[in-house]
Amino acid sequence: MELNARIPDHPIDRMWERHRFDMKLVNPANKRRYQVIVVGTGLAGGAAAATMGELGYQVKAFTFHDSPRRAHSIAAQGGINAAKNYQGDGDSVYRLFYDTVKGGDFRSREANVYRLAELSLNIIDQAVAQGVPFAREYGGLLANRSFGGAQVSRTFYARGQTGQQLLLGAYQALERQVQAGTVQMNVRSEMLDVIVVDGRARGIVTRDLVTGRIEAHMADAVVLGTGGYSNAFFLSTNAMGCNVTATWRAHRRGAGFANPCFTQIHPTCIPQSGEYQGKLTLMSESLRNDGRIWVPKEPGDTRAAAAIPDSERDYYLERLYPSFGNLTPRDIASRRAKEMVDSGHGVGPMRNGVYLDFRDAIQRLGKAAVAERYGNLFQMYEKITGEDPYDVPMRIYPAPHYTMGGLWVDYDLMTTVPGLFAIGEANFSDHGANRLGASALMQGLADGYFIIPLTIGNYLADAPKMDVGVDHPAARDAVREVTDTQERLLAVKGNRTVDSFHQELGRILWDHCGMARTEAGLREALQKIPELRERFWKEVLVPGSGATLNQSLEKAGRVADFLEFAEVMCWDALTRDESCGAHYRVEHTTEEGEAKRDDENFAHGAVWEFKGVGEEPVRHREPLHFEHVPLSQRSYK
Amino acid sequence: MNLTLHVWRQAGPDDAGAFETYRAEDISDSMSFLDMLDLVNEDLTRKGKEPIAFEHDCREGICGSCGMMINGVAHGPERLITACQLHMRSFKDGDEIWIEPFRATAFPVMRDLVVDRNSFDRVIQAGGYISVRTGSAQDANATPIPKRDADRAFDAAACIGCGACVAACPNASAMLFTAAKVAHLSYLPQGQAERLERALGMASQHDAEGFGNCTNHGACQEACPKGISVDYIARLNRDVLKGTLNKAVGTPD
């Protein structure tokens, strides 16, 4: 597997501009001769499909949802970063770049991150022009707030529904292109394989979720904007439908998978309330702006929060990290919460949370101002827990939330399979070992609106124009393989539900490849996962048929892929024998209890090559060079 | 608590469909309504029966996927939430619960509680956007927008496209949905250029889809999980009227 990141040979602050000039163009009249498939229509895929449609490409977009507006991007609450420096507090493109590389604990590619920081400016302009109703000050200018891992206010937001408003902006742009006839929208259509012809991605195989029809779709290039894989853990804040199938299928067809063990555990989620639960709920990190995190000093203290005086409370983030306080990056905030709960300081009926308290903010700002900032989040919390956060502190605990790992891509966002691109959370490019808050929306939109529409032209201009139809042997083989897998799932007719396997897999991963990882634990997981997979294929029960809307069958296919994918996650965590960002190996801890990196041996992206189900995958490296942000121990003290 | 559920089962669009009765046992207060349905489905699956098909995804009230009539009320008895945010503490032991799909000509039932809401997408396609090409925007702070207008635009833009307004309306009208998008864009300076064309295009697509007209019942506002106001319908009607008159007599210079 060849890993050439194709980083343009220009100074970093001119690189994207010069690269745009160097790239080959497809002339406007020729663009309509090219077909591009976009899978996934969230922020990244929706923006990409809309913009490529505007440029004149023939776009075929696919989503398993009933409408592009349902994509999980819609659930992002807190905001989107941009180096606008509207607050005049010393922000700049360079500072956003610096913060993102440092926040990612030096495991991302400087060139990509710099471009992301640059494009952050255009995203806000674009979104406002589309009518995204960002929060504003009384003077009519845009408002900002601060987020974890940053000491400037650069986060733009639309109450607690920033993802929704940005997604609706992209959705509207997309529907405009559907109306214009440049984008053909395929809803309730799930991608189940990539078709590779002569080493190039030339199409996909989909299942129509209503009729069950499995068919091939061909194109000159394929773009995956299919999101992350947090649902490998079963319980996560991801929507129920989020899955690894598209990227895993691409991986099986030759696309390298980078850093699969870099999974982010978000510090502010509502703690689990019982075994029956299928999903956890995130409370925006923006709450950490005004909420103070604490636990009782005394382990096992069961008094109500209000009955515990300040002197008996441990505001542990403020104590340990005086300069960042409650706004430390997510990995640190999560790990510290876990330590508190593990050492008996947990609160709530199951003793599985820490407090996030707004008492002081309400005293300082008044209830109305707090409601203005967080009203809908407070309402959401109350509906779920039955407790009113204006009166009693919220209870929070970390939960799987975002995956920094994903398909390896070069500077042009192309995977190791020519013609196959990955954007948004589906790729690995910008967040290193830890993503900072309000950066996911930024990356999805930078990739979708501003990068892929240009870099795809650079690929197409050079790629041989081939006429490959759905009757090509590669397409027919892929359709047959997908059909066979589906028939095998239906034929098992065992006695256990799909969810029960998913739950069991999630427990293995949470215990051994979750917030704290050890060599022994990972080896145990690598033993248990193949056993579980074997049992799945013998005992799973998928009712119904393949020829109708069958939600059990959809889930079964996704869980079957998670059961293969989970192994490479553990291989990655095992072989990355260091701690960095969200990847915390207990063996590698500094004296202060922080993740201890090993830059000499691990300043690289680990890129995995598929060798067959159950076979040990091959690990490749992309060395990382830090020329602008000097390697240093992260400190948020 | 133990409950009796009467659930609409329908194998496909052409099937007649009927209610089936199930028991939901050992349900705890802190479960969500959909957690409860998951439990029933696990049980049905283990018995080799096909589980109840229903749509859901984010389970935090924002994606708009879930939607069902619970005891005849869209999204169930609590106001300002979606079915996925409804928790079992709203019910009590021994309750009977009737669960049906959203019903409207423009929302054909696909299976059980799953309906086809793509008519909403087509209403958006008919003008529910601002025509701005990627990359052609001015600086985001170049045009200040009074906070009041931005807030009003946001209130309208909060629509999640779930279809509760349609299900609740005796005319199965989607005027609230359509008006919310028209209002969102009409409060903003960027939305002015296409304002009347947008209202006309979307309203005419709304009718073409088979949604009924608004006769001021206000049931949509009551059912809306995001609390979107019927006032926006008046605003839509005004823009449609203005657009129609402009077309009839020509735009004044």
Query: Each residue of B109-119: pLDDT tens digit?
Result: 999 999 999 99
| Judgement on whether residues B40 and B135 belong to the same structural domain of the protein | no
Is the pLDDT assigned to residue A386 strictly greater than 70? yes
d(CA A79, CA A144): 9
| Judgement on whether residues B106 and B124 belong to the same structural domain of the protein | no
pLDDT of residue B253: 59
Q: Give contacts of B111 with chain A, Cβ < 8 Å.
A: 548-549
d(CA A371, CA A378): 8
Residue A543: band (very low, low, confident or very high) from pLDDT cuts 50, 70, 90: very high
Query: Each residue of B169-200: pLDDT tens digit?
Result: 999 999 999 999 999 999 999 999 999 999 99
pLDDT of residue B99: 98
d(CA A556, CA A542): 7
Q: Do B129 and A126 touch (CB under 8 A)?
A: no
CA angle A457, A463, A466 (to 5 degrees): 120
d(CA A443, CA A117): 9
Mean pLDDT of chain A: 95
Determine the structural domain holding residue B85 and report its residue range.
Answer: 3-110
Q: How far is CA A193 from CA A168, A433, A558, in A?
A: 28, 28, 12
| Judgement on whether residues B46 and B125 belong to the same structural domain of the protein | no
Q: Please state the rounded mean pLDDT for residues B141-170.
A: 97
| Judgement on whether residues B105 and B127 belong to the same structural domain of the protein | no
* Beta strands A604-609 and A354-357, pairing class: unpaired
Alpha helices in A56-191 (DSSP H): 93-103, 110-130, 162-180
B6 contacts B20 by C-beta, under 8 angstroms: yes
Residue type, position A141, single letter: L
Is the pLDDT assigned to residue A372 strictly greater than 90? no
Is the pLDDT assigned to residue A534 strictly greater than 80? yes
Name the CATH architecture for the domain at A480-599.
Answer: Up-down Bundle (1.20)
| ipTM (interface pTM) | 0.98
Nearest CA distance, B177 vs chain A (angstrom): 14
Q: Give contacts of B208 with chain A, Cβ < 8 Å.
A: none
Is the pLDDT assigned to residue B36 strictly greater than 90? yes
Task: Give the domain CATH number at B142.
Answer: 1.10.1060.10
Is the pLDDT assigned to residue A636 strictly greater than 80? no
- CA nearest to A636, candidates A446, A411, A436: A436
Q: Do A383 and B85 touch (CB under 8 A)?
A: yes
Residue A595: band (very low, low, confident or very high) from pLDDT cuts 50, 70, 90: confident
A47 contacts A165 by C-beta, under 8 angstroms: no
| Judgement on whether residues B218 and B135 belong to the same structural domain of the protein | yes
Residue A544: band (very low, low, confident or very high) from pLDDT cuts 50, 70, 90: very high
Query: Each residue of A242-293: pLDDT tens digit?
Result: 999 999 999 999 999 999 999 999 999 999 988 888 899 998 888 998 999 9
- The residue from B83, B110, B137 where one domain ends is B110
d(CA B67, CA B34): 11
Q: Please state the rounded mean pLDDT for residues A152-172.
A: 95
Residue B67: band (very low, low, confident or very high) from pLDDT cuts 50, 70, 90: very high
Query: Each residue of A98-111: pLDDT tens digit?
Result: 999 999 999 999 99
At residue A525, φ and ψ (nearest 5 deg) are: -60, -40
- The residue from B72, B91, B110 where one domain ends is B110
Residue A34 exposure: Cα atoms within 13 Å on the Cβ side: 30
pLDDT of residue B252: 64
**Does B79 lie at the interface with A, CB-CB under 8 angstroms?**
no
Q: How many CB atoms lie within 10 A of CB A137?
A: 13
- The residue from B110, B133, B161 where one domain ends is B110
- Domain layout of chain A by residue ranges: 266-399, 480-599
d(CA A355, CA A313): 10
d(CA A582, CA A433): 6
3-state secondary structure A292-311: EEEEECCCCCCCCHHHCCHH
Nearest CA distance, B95 vs chain A (angstrom): 20
The answer to whether the Cα torsion of A546, A549, A554, A555 is positive or negative is negative
Question: A66-80, A144-158, A387-401: which has the minimum mean pLDDT?
Answer: A144-158
Q: Do A69 and B121 touch (CB under 8 A)?
A: yes
Q: How far is CA A187 from CA A46, A204, A445, in A?
A: 12, 15, 21
d(CA A43, CA A30): 27
| Judgement on whether residues B54 and B104 belong to the same structural domain of the protein | yes
- In the structure encoding, which two tokens stand for residue B122, read together? 């087509």
d(CA A345, CA A189): 47
Our count of domains for chain B comes to 2
Residue A313: band (very low, low, confident or very high) from pLDDT cuts 50, 70, 90: very high
Task: Give the domain CATH number at B86.
Answer: 3.10.20.30
Q: Please state the rounded mean pLDDT for residues A139-167.
A: 91
The answer to whether the Cα torsion of A488, A494, A499, A503 is positive or negative is negative
Q: What's the CATH number for A266-399? A: 3.90.700.10
Query: Each residue of A445-497: pLDDT tens digit?
Result: 999 999 999 999 999 999 988 889 999 999 999 999 999 999 999 999 999 99
Q: Do B59 and A47 touch (CB under 8 A)?
A: no
pLDDT of residue A300: 93
Query: Each residue of A210-243: pLDDT tens digit?
Result: 999 999 999 999 999 999 999 999 999 999 999 9
d(CA A40, CA B64): 17
Q: Please state the rounded mean pLDDT for residues A342-348.
A: 95
Q: B24-61 as b/e, with b when 16 or more CB fall inside 10 Å?
A: beebeebbbbbbbbbbbbbbbbeeeebbbbbbbbbbbb
| Judgement on whether residues B18 and B129 belong to the same structural domain of the protein | no
Query: Each residue of B47-62: pLDDT tens digit?
Result: 989 999 999 999 999 9
% residues pLDDT > 90 (chain A)? 91
% residues pLDDT > 70 (chain A)? 100
| Judgement on whether residues B104 and B123 belong to the same structural domain of the protein | no
Question: Residues 28 to 67 of B: which have CB under 8 A from any A CB?
Answer: 28-32, 34-35, 38-39, 42, 44-46, 48-51, 53, 55-65
- In the structure encoding, which two tokens stand for residue A70, read together? 């349902």
Best residue in B41, B131, B134 for a mutation probing chain A (most A CBs within 10 Å): B134
Q: Where are the beta strands (DSSP E) in A532-626?
A: 604-609, 618-623
